[in-house]
A and B are shown apart, each in its own frame.
Chain A
Amino acid sequence: GESVGLHLPTLSVQEGDNSIINCAYSNSASDYFIWYKQESGKGPQFIIDIRSNMDKRQGQRVTVLLNKTVKHLSLQIAATQPGDSAVYFCAENWEYGNKLVFGAGTILRVKS
């Protein structure tokens, strides 16, 4: 079946560098995508979201890019800090309002 997936299970970056976390999706009908950050033992925190009628959306230090042609979603974190170390999940919404389908997550490790 169609599902959200991630290219890299673990990403290690040096403090101060930019991070790029990737996510592939296969459901062309998905019209909403969202990124969450989860620290160990805690619940996921919303980072940023984007609808399919947009290609790019920026937040504070984060940017989400959506490439519908190749069904690819990425999260860019600028000037990565040790506090950014966490698991990052992307999710897509197949049914309006009540069904987010989550990927397995990518571990981001920031080296000082």
Chain B
Amino acid sequence: DGGITQSPKYLFRKEGQNVTLSCEQNLNHDAMYWYRQDPGQGLRLIYYSQIVNDFQKGDIAEGYSVSREKKESFPLTVTSAQKNPTAFYLCASSLRNDEKLFFGSGTQLSVL
């Protein structure tokens, strides 16, 4: 089945620790995105990538980093510089220049 796989489903971060969230898609989509979801708020864009080896900051990129070495993969690292990392993180993908996003099932990140 084609789709977007996020792992792990739950992740805990210790103070000062970097953690990496995985996102893999087999839809052959060019574009991939990371969103953050907080309770009672809309999704906010962290980073996006339209093509391999290229990515752009979204609205709330501070404290996060990404890489796009392969078309299928777009991992997100939550660095120690992100002081409020507790949130539900959603990865999405789309065809190039297509507005319709397909989402993964999310990763809930919490701070210990």
User: Which A residues have a C-beta under 8 Å from some C-beta of B?
Assistant: 4, 32, 34, 36, 41-46, 49, 89, 91, 93, 96-105
Contact = CB atoms under 8 A, between A and B. Distances in A.
Nearest to B40: A104
Contact of A89 (B43, B44, B56, B105): B43
B100 A98 contact: no
B64 interface: no
The winner among A32, A36, A96, A97 for most chain B CB atoms within 10 A is A97
Nearest to B88: A41
B103 interface: yes
B50 interface: yes
Contacts, number: 60
Nearest to B44: A102
Interface string B88-107: 00101000111111111110
Contacts of A34: 99-100
B90 A44 contact: yes
15 contacts: A34-B100, A43-B4, A43-B6, A43-B90, A46-B100, A46-B101, A46-B102, A91-B42, A96-B97, A97-B97, A99-B45, A101-B42, A102-B42, A104-B40, A104-B42
Contacts of B105: 41-43
Contacts of A97: 31, 50, 96-99
Contacts of B6: 43
A96 B105 CA distance: 25
Nearest to B10: A41
A22 to B, nearest CB: 15
Nearest to A36: B103
Given A97-B96, A97-B97, A98-B31, A43 B41 contact: no
Contacts of B106: 41-43
Contacts of B102: 46
